[in-house]
Structure 1
Amino acid sequence: MKRKWLAVIISGSLITGVGGTYTGMKWYYHDLERKVEENGSPISLKGQQIQPDLSKIAQAYDLIMKSYVKKVEEKQLVEGAIQGMVSTLNDPFSVYMDAKTATQFNNTLDSSFEGIGAEVAQKDGKIVIVAPYKDSPAEKAGLRPKDVIVKIDGVSTHGLDLTEATTKIRGKKGTTVTLEIQREGTSNPLTFVVKRESIPLETVFSEIKKQGDKSIGYLEITQFSKDTAIDFNEKLKKLESQNIHGLIIDVRGNPGGYLSSVEDMLKGLVPNNKPYFQIEQRNGEKLPYYSKLKQKKPYPIAVLVDEGSASAAEILASSLQEADGYALIGEKTFGKGTVQTAIPLGDGSSIKLTMYKWLTPDGNWIHQKGINPTIEVKQPEYFYVNPLTLDHSLKLDANNEQVKLAQQILSGLGYGPGREDGYFDYQTERAVKAFQNQEKLPATGEIDPKTAELMDTALTQARKEEKNDLQLQVALTYIGNKN
C-alpha cells in the first residue's frame, strides 16, 4: 500500500498574541511529495530523513476505515490525527484549527469580528482571559485579566483546547453567552451573561494630556492589528507636530498581535545601538533585529503596563526599557515569550505552531515570568473589586462575602460604609441609602438587584475616570518632572 500527501504552496505568519494573533512571514514549500511506504523504508522530505514510524499512522487509518464497527469519515480521522500530534507538544499556543476556526482566527485582526471582545489563552490546562478589549462587551460585563473560564453556557471547559473554547464563546451579534468564572480572591464562581456584538478593531487612541503647563502625548494601543503600526505612526507624528513635552504609551490590557506591527513601531522609537528584540531559533542561534534610527526621541517616554499586557505588548515595553532606559509604570506583565507561525494546510485548516522564542534587547526570556515595571503602581483597591452577584437582597445584620464586596464598592464611590469586613451594620445601611438617593431609587437601605446593578455600573464608570487612574497620574507626573 502507498499513500501520498501532496503539499501545496503555503504561507504562514509570525504570531505573538496570547490567544493567537499573527504576523507576516511567508514560508513556501514547493511540490513536496510525502510518501509512507508499507515496507517501512525512510521517507524523504526536502532531503531530510523522516522516521518510518509514520507507516503506523497509515496502518491505523486503514484499520479503522475498513474494520471499525461504525462507518467513519476520512476527515474525522485526519483531523483527529493532527490534533493528537499537536496536543502531545503540551504547548497551549500550538493548536490545530479546522477551516471554520481558521477563518474566525484570520478575521480577528483584519477588520472586525462578532463575539464578546476578549483575548483568551490556555494556561496550565485552564482557559484564561488575558484581557478584554477596550469598550468591548467583555469589558462592560466586568470580565478581567486572569479570570479562569470554568463553564461556557453551562458546559465545563475541562478538556477543551483553546480553539474549541474560543469557538464556543464567539457567535452571532445579538446572541448571548453565559460564562462561569473563577476569580482569584473569590470562593464561589461568578456568572456573567455577555451579549455578543460586532467588535471593531480600532486599536490606537491618541490625545494630548496636560500636566501643569506641559503638553504630554498619550497613545493607547489596545492590540497589534494589521494597520496598527500605520495608525500609531500617523498619530504620533500628529502629536509631535503639537510640540509635546513627552509621550505615554499605554499597552495595559493589550494581549499582543502582529509581530510586524510592533516592529514597525520600534523601528521609529529605538536607536540602532541595541537590538529592539531578538529571535532565538530551535538550534539556539539568536538573531538580533536593529532599527536604522540614529538617535532617540527628543522627549521622555513612559510605558503603562499591567497583567493584561502580553506578547507583542511585552516586546514593545521591554524594548523601550532595555534599549532606551524608558520607564515602565504599572504592574507586572503577563509573560509570553514565544512566537507562532500560522501555516495553512491547503483545505482552509491550519496549524498554529510555536517556532521561536523572542528575547528582550539584553537577551532575557520573559516567558511565564513577565516583566517587572521600573515604577510599580497598583490602582486603588476598588479597581479590583468583583461585581455583586445577589441571590437575595442584602440588609441589616447580613454577614457574608457579598456584603463585603458592597462595602468595598461603596467605599470606592465615596459613600463611607465605615467598615469592609462583610457585616451589614447601620453605617453601611446609611451609605446604601445615600447611594440610592443619589441614583433616585427608593431609599430602603437594602441592596436589592437594581441597587446592586447601579452600584456596579457606577464603579465601572469611576474606574474609567482619568482622575482615578493612579497609574496614568503617576506617568503624567513622571513625564512632567523629566522636563
Structure 2
Amino acid sequence: MLKLTRKYPRLSTVLTVTVVICILGAGYVREIFAGAETSEETYKSLKQLTEVLEEIQYNYVDEVKPNELIQKAIEGMVSSLDPHSAFMPPENFADLQMETKGEFSGIGIVLTMKDGAITVISPIDGTPAAKAGIKAEDIILKVDDEQTRDMQLWEAVKKMRGKKGTHVKITIFREGTKEPLDFDLVRDDIPLESVKWAELEPGYGYVLITNFRESTAEDTEKAIKALESGPNPLKGLVIDLRGNPGGLLDQAIEIADLFIDKGPIVSTKGRKKENNRTWEATPNTTPRNYPIALLINSGSASASEIVAGALQDTNKAIVVGTTSFGKGSVQTVKPLKDGYGLKYTIARYYTPNGRSIQAEGIVPDIEVTYEEPKKDDKAAAEEKKKKSLFLKEKDLKNHLVNPGTTENGETKEKEKIEDKKDDKSAKKEKVKMRKSSDTFEAERLLDDNQVRRGLDLLIGYSVFKNIKTK
C-alpha cells in the first residue's frame, strides 16, 4: 500500500488557530489557552482535527477547499448535540426568519430529525402537504428521487421549497404500509393565517391555532372576543392544537395567560443561571370561567405543549386526543458573521406542576383516537338501517294520541309552529355561518370525531352542573 507522509509544522499551527477561532470565537479562544487542564484537552482535540484537515487537503484524491471542510465539521458538531440544534448557512437562516415573520412558498410541512431520519412533525393546515394526506410521523425517504439519508435537515427543507406552481415529488415511509408512498405536490404560498374560529353550536366556540408566529396571541384573543361578543353567551370553548408544531415561546405564554389568572405558566431550566426563568400569569380583565376542551395529537409540539400543559395543570381545560410530540426543550438563535446562524438548545421547559414533557409528551385526560369521517351516503344508509330495526310508540296500533296533535298525528296550529321552525332554522343557519373567514370550512368540523367529543364534553358539563345532588 502506498502511503505518503509529509510534515507541515507551520501550516498545522496556523490551521489550529484558524479552526479554534472559527468554531469558538476569539473570546473563548483566550479562555482555552489560559492553561486550565480542560483547556489543554480541548487544544489536543482541536489539534487532532487540524491534522485530519491537513491530511485531507493535501492527499485526498480530489482537491477540496479548507473552508468547506471546516463548515461541514461545524455542522456535524452542532447536529450531534440534539435534533433541534443546527448550524445554518445564510439561505437557511433567512428561511427560519421568514417562517415567523413573512410569507414563503413550499409544500407546508414541519420536519425534525428523528433517529437519523427526516421525519414529519405535522403538515400545516390548508397547505399542499395537508391536502395530499401527508401525516405526522411520516418519514421522508426521497425528495425528487434524491435520497435524504445523508442530508442535513435544512438541505431537505431547501429542496422542498420553491416557486409557487412548481412540482416536487416526495417519497415517504409510513408505518403500516408495505411500500413507500409517492406524493406529487405543487408548491404554493404557505398561509400566514395561524388562527381560525367558528361557532360549533349556539354558545359553543371553536378556535384552531395552526402555529405560533408573531401575531398569533393577538389573533387568538380577537377570535375569543368575537365568540364572547356573539348573539349567544359563550358556554364552552374547544381549542384545537392538533398538528401545531409550535413556534415562538412568548406567543404560547400570552395565549395561556388569556385563561390563567395567577401562578406559573411555564418555567425553563438550563445549565446557565440566565436561562432559568419562570413566567407568571397576570390577572385578566375579562373573566373566562367557561369550560375548555383542548385537542392535541402526536403533531402537537413545543409551544403547543406549553399551552396544553399550562391549562391542564391549572385545571383550566380538559385535554382530549392522543399524546403529543414531546419536545420539551428551548432553543435560541444567534446570528453569526456573513449571514450564518446558530440554533442551539439552552434549556428544558417545565409545566406549572414541574413536569418535563421532554420525550414524554402531554398525555390527554381523555384519549380519543382520530377516525376518518364516514362517507355521507354510507352514514345515511347505516342510520336508515338502524331506524328500521326499532319500533316507536306511534308505530303501535291504537296508540294514545298526544294532546298536542290531531288524530292523524299532525301537530295542531301547524302554520304557527312551522313559522317558529323556520325562524329557528334561519337562526341556526346564521349561527352556523359565524366563522373567521369564508375559506374556513367550519361546517365540516362536526364530522371530526375528536372535535365532536370535545363539544359533547362541554355540553355535558353544562347539563351536569345544573343537576341537584340533594
* TM-score scaled by length of structure 2: 0.73
What's the offset of the Cα at 1:217?
A: 2.1
Matched, 1:280 2:269: yes
Distance 1:111 1:259, change over 3 A: same
User: Which residue in 1 is equivalent to 2:226?
Assistant: 238
Matched, 1:76 2:68: yes
* SS class of match (1:336): coil
Matched, 1:180 2:168: no
Counterpart among 235, 238, 249 of residue 259 in structure 1: 249
Counterpart among 288, 312, 316 of residue 321 in structure 1: 312
Q: Is the 8 A contact 2:291 2:316 kept in 1?
A: no
Deviations 1:319-348 (A, max 9, x none): 101023420111111111111111121111
Distance 1:325 1:271, change over 3 A: same
What's the offset of the Cα at 1:63?
A: 5.6
1:73-472 alignment runs, 5 A limit:
73-89=65-81, 91-210=82-201, 214-242=202-230, 243-272=233-262, 274-282=263-271, 287-293=277-283, 297-380=288-371, 382=372, 465-472=444-451
* SS class of match (1:112): coil
What's the offset of the Cα at 1:270?
A: 1.5
Task: Please give the alpha-carbon distance, in whole angstroms, between the structure 1 residues aligned to 2:331 and 2:378.
Answer: 42
Letter matched to residue 72 of structure 1: V
Please, what is the CA RMSD of the aligned residues?
3.2
Distance 1:191 1:245, change over 3 A: same
* TM-score scaled by length of structure 1: 0.71
In structure 2, list runs of 5 or more residues that go unmatched: 1-12, 383-439, 463-470
Which structure's residues are more often strand, by fraction? 1
Task: Please give the alpha-carbon distance, in whole angstroms, between the structure 1 residues aligned to 2:119 and 2:381.
Answer: 34
Task: Please give the alpha-carbon distance, in whole angstroms, between the structure 2 residues aligned to 1:226 and 1:280.
Answer: 24
Report which structure shows greater RCO (CA 8 Å, sep ≥6). Answer: 1
Distance 1:294 1:207, change over 3 A: closer
What's the offset of the Cα at 1:138?
A: 0.4
Q: Is the 8 A contact 2:198 2:442 kept in 1?
A: no
Distance 1:415 1:65, change over 3 A: farther
Deviations 1:123-170 (A, max 9, x none): 111111111111100011111111111121112221222112212222
- Percent of aligned pairs with the same amino acid: 34
Which structure's residues are more often helix, by fraction? 2
In structure 1, list runs of 5 or more residues that go unmatched: 9-28, 384-407, 417-460
Q: Is the 8 A contact 1:42 1:50 kept in 2?
A: no
Deviations 1:164-183 (A, max 9, x none): 22122222221111111111
Task: Please give the alpha-carbon distance, in whole angstroms, between the structure 1 residues aligned to 2:343 and 2:173.
Answer: 28
What's the offset of the Cα at 1:312?
A: 0.7
Deviations 1:212-270 (A, max 9, x none): xx412211100001111111122222322233112211111101111111112122221
Task: Please give the alpha-carbon distance, in whole angstroms, between the structure 2 residues aligned to 1:97 and 1:331.
Answer: 33
Q: Is the 8 A contact 1:36 1:58 kept in 2?
A: no
Task: Please give the alpha-carbon distance, in whole angstroms, between the structure 1 residues aligned to 2:277 and 2:441.
Answer: 45
What's the offset of the Cα at 1:33?
A: 3.8
Task: Please give the alpha-carbon distance, in whole angstroms, between the structure 1 residues aligned to 2:56 and 2:142.
Answer: 33
Matched, 1:476 2:467: no
Distance 1:469 1:43, change over 3 A: farther
Matched positions, count: 383
Which range moved further: 222-231 or 236-245? 236-245
Q: Is the 8 A contact 2:260 2:316 kept in 1?
A: no
Which range moved further: 367-376 or 288-297? 288-297
Structure of higher CA gyration radius: 2
What's the offset of the Cα at 1:297?
A: 2.0
Q: Is the 8 A contact 2:327 2:359 kept in 1?
A: yes
* SS class of match (2:140): strand
